[in-house]
Structure 1
Amino acid sequence: MPLGATMLAMAGFQVGASLAKGLFPATGVVGAVTLRLVFSAVLLIALTRPWRNWPRPAPLGALFGLGVCVTAAVLFFYLAIDRLPQGVAIALQFVGPMSVAVLGSRRTRDFVWAGLAVLGVWLLIGTGLTLKGVDPLGVLWAMLAAAGWAGYILFGRVAGTAFGNATAALAIGIAALLVLPFGALQAAVVFQQPGLIPLALLVAVISAALPFSLEMYALPRVPARTFAVFTSLEPAFGVLSGLVLLHERLTLAQTAGVAVVIAAAAGAAWSSAERPQLPAPT
């Protein structure tokens, strides 16, 4: 059940992104991101009610940094899928968490995973750029999303320890406030076209409320190494969701690149879990 919940969470993230792409023609990318974050924040805050167990002292700096990184990860990923196939964008974004896993290591095996990731990225974009088949700006957005995801992991370690299950709700709430001034006008289009509101709510539920709830169920019940390796499969869900819902087909080289990135991310996650952990500060 916990592994099934993890798989459903990954599928939810990617299906939600594919559905959000259906909002782009009406709201634009920033408007769709605003709807996704605002609706998700309302749902998650209502579910977790973070004010009930507010820590003292609260690491507000880490929490704000986490919110900024959530904003970057979601906004730049949506900008990337506006220009790239979803499977390519999520595979490039995975460079972020994989870099965190490898960063600072001096073990040969970790450099092997890093080299494998570079090979995967080259397969994803190298040939495509030569043939003008991959949008360079889309690649830039995906790499900025990767940086946001890396920061999410680093800040999340501190904020998550203090705020527990409410961390995601608070971080998404901050992200919603950050993006709202830039996307409110575009997002307001849904109230002029009420038929879009169910789609926007569905995106919020599938891409945030449901996956985070499933992950909160799975995390205490699955070894950290197993969970990390399983989440490395997310680019595969991105490829499948893009194919089924958006009819996006990858070239043979790009498909191989996704597979190589998955292998590199899984290997890096497996290796990082083997490292001895430092004692937590009192």
Structure 2
Amino acid sequence: MTHRHTTPAWTLAVGAMLSVQLGSALSLGVMDAIGPAGTAWLRLSIGAVIFIAIARPPLRTLGRNDIPVVLGLGVSTGVQTVAFLAAIQRLPLGTSVAIEFLGPLTVAAIGSHSRRALAWPTLALAGVVLLTEPWHGRVNTIGVTCAALAAIGWAAYILLTQRLGDRFTGLGGLSMTVPVAAATAATVGIPQAAGHITLPVLAATAGLALLLPVLPYALELLALRRMTHLAFGTLMALEPAIGVLLGLLVLHQHPRFAQGIGVALVVLAGAAAQREGQRAGPREPSAPRDAPQAHPHLDLLG
């Protein structure tokens, strides 16, 4: 007997994005106590423990050529997480997400066979300019730099996750890469958080780890079982808009009209780049394996 799905797949994808951005917004309180790097380190460490508990690391099936990919993916994830949290400490949430989104947009454009696709990162960059409003002379240079570093980390995440995802399926790969990400964040996170970790901070960070990365990965995995990569990747273009919305509702960050237009340009560029940046399709793994396939960053290119 088959069971019909009562929850539309797109709601799972949107729920994952809401969880990511809500976790980012709520991280600001913890960052006041232990800093962005300390928050990233604790959040990734707790997430690593959870992933190891629910998905055994497939170390026996890990080939020699996979090791640099696993390490590179973990390091890029750690750098991205620290840089993004440092960015939202200095910039509005929606602006940080929009700048970070330039990373996957550029990867999608470069991966496309159409020269026209190169226009989409340019369009998104115009949207980012509207969001940062440099003509007012109050651009936070450090915040923009951190968000740009997060964009580079996100782009590297896409490329490396696709390589690992072509060989593995499931969540086991996350139990290998998230600990590496936590160790990467620890290099700056432990010194920043030392002496400031309390039981309330640990409890709050554990909750944040459920919001990001644990819950989003689970929701994305369920959604991707019922959605095409094209539909999922197009939905992902909504993430900057979701960042602005939660910035408004949770952090009371009110975007101006020009900034609203900027968000719309980034969303439009993301949806267009996704439609023109599809892959021909990954190789089928020779045997069932475990690795991260659930994250939307992977599926921007299909």
Per-residue deviation, 1:160: 2.0
Per-residue deviation, 1:80: 0.6
CA contact (8 A) 1:59 1:162 kept: no
State the distance in 1 between where 2:230 and 2:272 align: 10
Counterparts of 1:192-231 in structure 2 under 5 Å?
Answer: 193-231=198-236
Counterparts of 1:90-169 in structure 2 under 5 Å?
Answer: 90-103=97-110, 105=112, 107-125=114-132, 128-165=133-170, 166-169=172-175
**Which residue of structure 2 aligns with residue 179 of structure 1?**
185
**Which residue of structure 2 aligns with residue 78 of structure 1?**
85
Per-residue deviation, 1:71: 1.2
Per-residue deviation, 1:230: 0.6
Number of equivalenced pairs: 278
CA contact (8 A) 2:103 2:155 kept: yes
> Is residue 63 of structure 1 aligned with residue 70 of structure 2?
yes
> Is residue 264 of structure 1 aligned with residue 266 of structure 2?
no
- The partner residue of 1:39 within 23, 33, 46 is 46
TM-score where L is the length of structure 1: 0.91
- Paired residue secondary structure (2:137): coil
Per-residue deviation, 1:54: 3.2
Q: What letter corresponds to residue 72 of structure 2 in structure 1?
A: G
State the distance in 2 between where 1:104 and 1:207 align: 28
Tell me whether 177-186 or 258-267 shows the greater mean CA deviation.
177-186
Per-residue deviation, 1:171: 1.6
Q: What letter corresponds to residue 228 of structure 1 in structure 2?
A: G
State percent identity of aligned pairs: 35
Deviations 1:25-52 (A, max 9, x none): 1111111111111111111221112237
Show structure 1 runs of 5+ residues with no match: none
Runs of 4+ in 1 over 6 A off after TM superposition: 278-282
In structure 2, relative to structure 1, the CA distance for the partners of 1:109 and 1:57 (3 Å cut) is same
- Paired residue secondary structure (2:138): coil
Tell me whether 115-124 or 139-148 shows the greater mean CA deviation.
115-124
- Paired residue secondary structure (2:10): helix
- The partner residue of 2:255 within 244, 250, 253 is 250
State the distance in 2 between where 1:114 and 1:184 align: 36
In structure 2, relative to structure 1, the CA distance for the partners of 1:211 and 1:190 (3 Å cut) is farther
- The alignment yields a C-alpha RMSD, in angstroms, of 2.1
**Which residue of structure 1 aligns with residue 15 of structure 2?**
8
Show structure 2 runs of 5+ residues with no match: 1-7, 287-302
